Chains A and B, each alone.
Chain A
Amino acid sequence: MSLLNTYINHIIQVFPDLLLGSMVTIEVTSLGVFFGLIIGTISGLGKLSQKKFYRYPSIVYVDFIRGTPLLVQILLFYYGIPGLFSNVTGKPLSFDPIFAGVIVCSINSGAYIAEIVRAGVQSIDKGQMEAARSLGMTERMAMKEIILPQAFRRIIPPLGNEFIALLKDSSLLAVIGVHELLKNGQLYISRTFASFPVYIAVAMMYLIMTIAISRLVAYSERRLGVSDRN
């Protein structure tokens, strides 16, 4: 009984830190998915392009990111790039951890979102592009007005999944000292050694966030996904 009380006390103590950490987690993840969506749209369309000039860099980017661990990408960016910079220029360089976190998360989710966008665009009936082109629209115009708006509706669920995946993976940013949810829990543990209750609390916080987001996605899917097929 006293053990349970101790645990509960620790959880109450750590809770404000975890709440702050969750804010950072959500902030980094949201920015990551936001920029990732931009990067992913460009490289997803790049992968579909007829032109090698767009297609090859997109393929290399997506394969590199999806074929390497996020943890390695984080370390490469946070330590590797400044190291390279000072080796080349002789000047020091260091990144703000949150800045680095957002950049790496954007680049990382961009590659996954590229595949989502590519699949979304390919899932739109070919007749849509043909109808648009037959009206004299350029390919770019047809993409912007006809294909992408339909594709984006369709990719909301997989985008939601990507958001959830990134939210969980952003815990890796603890290794470069981003004060997100996991890191704040760890800092508390290092002061108190209360690992069990704190890690459970951390896990619960992630769970609450992921469940909330998947509900949100399901809701927006219902709102937008009105059967608007021809």
Chain B
Amino acid sequence: MIEIKDLYKSFGDLQVLKGISVKVKESEVVCVIGPSGSGKSTFLRCINLLEKPTSGDIWIDGEKITDTHVNINKIREEAGMVFQHFNLFPHKTVLENVSLAPIKVRKLSKEEGEKKALELLRKVGLEDKAHVYPAALSGGQKQRVAIARALAMHPKVMLFDEPTSALDPEMVGEVLNVMNNLAKMGMTMIVVTHEMGFAREVSHRVLFMDDGMIVEEGKPHDIFVHPKNDRTIAFLSKVL
């Protein structure tokens, strides 16, 4: 489904990703954990080309997205992204937030787009908020809208960058719940998270990143119960 090979990324002199190779299967849920500054966000952002890889190749569904002639906008339609700070459009209603891209990019009619948006909002439990502005939502609600907005483009993979770390603790559950449902429905997901509970219970595989490399990867049980690498052990002892 997704294959990443020898991914390098530098910002000027700063080398942030130092040769990352990963394969993600269809319907697989992969969690990425690691200390701050290790390059987790950069890694995720390379997958939908919000950052341009310095070198290396990425395939999504057999298509090599790092080819220079691919249409970047098309690629981004395939990979939905959920951000730590939601990034909802504050001047649009919840319904408009979700239906905008399908209408503008996928060229659905307004009725169609809004009908689909309402369905998605129902799925994340926010149908009744369709006509309010994001400012009137709680953090957890905002993030659920952001998830619905990304899903509206029918992405092949969903990328989550610390989707719960800007939330008050009591709102983390509702967002993880939506993500859990998504996983059960077979969505392919790559999740950067500090929620070790989610990583342990929902993900199929955990990648531990440190200093721009994947230092250790394996089934959640193996990583959390029998970590092998010293750096993994040190990191887990701090967060668990």
Contacts and interface: CB of A to CB of B under 8 A. Distances in A.
Q: Do A and B bind each other?
A: yes
A230 interface: yes
Interface in A125-179: 125, 127-128, 130-138, 141, 145-146, 149-150, 153
Interface string B21-34: 00000000000000
A96 interface: no
B50 A130 contact: yes
Interface stretch (B69-77, B173-181, B193-201, B228-236): B69-77
B87 A137 contact: no
Given A134-B48, A135-B76, A230-B134, A125 B105 contact: no
Contact of A150 (B81, B86, B91, B100): B91
Given A228-B90, A229-B135, A230-B88, A131 B77 contact: no
Q: What is the predominant secondary structure among interface residues of chain B facing chain A?
A: mixed
B89 A128 contact: yes
B16 interface: no
A136 B86 contact: no
Interface string B132-148: 01110000001000100
Contacts of B88: 131, 230
Contact of B105 (A128, A137, A228, A230): A137
Contact of A136 (B83, B85, B91, B101): B101
Contact of A145 (B79, B85, B100): B100
Instruction: Give the interface size bracket for B toward A.
Output: 20 to 34
B80 interface: yes
Max chain A Cβ within 10 angstroms of own Cβ: one of B74, B86, B91: B91
Given A135-B101, A135-B153, A127 B83 contact: yes
Nearest to B83: A127
Contacts of B150: 134-135
A227 interface: yes
Interface residues of A, number: 23
B104 interface: yes
A67 B104 CA distance: 41
Interface string B156-182: 000000000000000000000000000
Contacts of A133: 50, 73, 76
B205 interface: no
Contacts of A141: 104-105
A138 B73 CA distance: 6
Given A133-B76, A136-B76, A128 B87 contact: yes
Nearest to A136: B77
B171 to A, nearest CB: 15
Nearest to A149: B91
Contacts of A132: 89, 101
A135 B149 contact: yes
Contact of B90 (A134, A137, A138, A229): A229
Contacts of A134: 48, 50, 76, 79-81, 150
B81 A137 contact: no
B83 A135 contact: no
A141 B77 CA distance: 14
Contacts of B101: 132, 135-137
Interface of B: 48, 50, 73-74, 76-77, 79-81, 83, 85-91, 100-101, 104-105, 133-135, 142, 146, 149-150, 153
Interface of A: 125, 127-128, 130-138, 141, 145-146, 149-150, 153, 226-230
21 contacts: A128-B89, A130-B81, A131-B81, A131-B146, A132-B101, A133-B73, A134-B80, A134-B81, A134-B150, A135-B80, A135-B101, A135-B105, A136-B74, A137-B73, A137-B101, A138-B73, A228-B90, A228-B133, A228-B135, A230-B90, A230-B135
